[in-house]
Amino acid sequence: MTQTEPSIFTRIIDREIPADVVYEDDRVIAFNDIAPQAPVHVVVVPKTAAFGNVVELAAADPALLAHLVKVAKLIADEHADGQFRLVFNTGENAGQSVFHVHAHVLAGGLAEGTLGSK
């Protein structure tokens, strides 16, 4: 899917849109989700818009994917005793609404058999 306008995540990275940033380095940014689906719900986004989904990222830059997972673990260590669910939506029919790869770190009392509901 080709985008003509920068995604909301690119606009957050560029500081055009405010976000509650909980982690940032030269490769990724992580911020609290504005519509949390769990007590802890942080979105981790690579600072490149080159990849629309996790499959593209894994194929082209596995080191960046590994870094994203490492950051998810750091966030879980800080906010959820190291326990977390990591969710990537790939495709519109799977719930992906922003086509700039990103991961949802969900934690805090999630029940087995739920996808992230509180």
What is the pLDDT at residue 116? 52
Number of domains in the chain: 1
Q: Is 115 within the bounds of a domain? A: no
Q: What is the pTM of this model?
A: 0.89
Q: How far apart are CA 79 and CA 42, in angstroms?
A: 10
Q: Is 19 within the bounds of a domain? A: yes
Q: Are strands 40-46 and 103-107 parallel, antiparallel or unpaired?
A: antiparallel
pLDDT tens, residue order, the chain (118 aa): 445 789 999 999 999 999 999 999 999 999 999 999 999 999 999 999 999 999 999 999 999 999 999 999 999 999 999 999 999 999 999 989 999 999 999 998 776 766 554 4
Q: How far apart are CA 16 and CA 28, in angstroms?
A: 16
Write out the two tokens for 97: 């609404």
Catalytic machinery residues: 102
Half-sphere exposure of 45 (CA within 13 A, CB side): 26
Please give the residue range of the domain that contains residue 22. Answer: 8-107
What CATH code is carried by the domain that includes residue 64?
A: 3.30.428.10
Q: Is 3 within the bounds of a domain? A: no
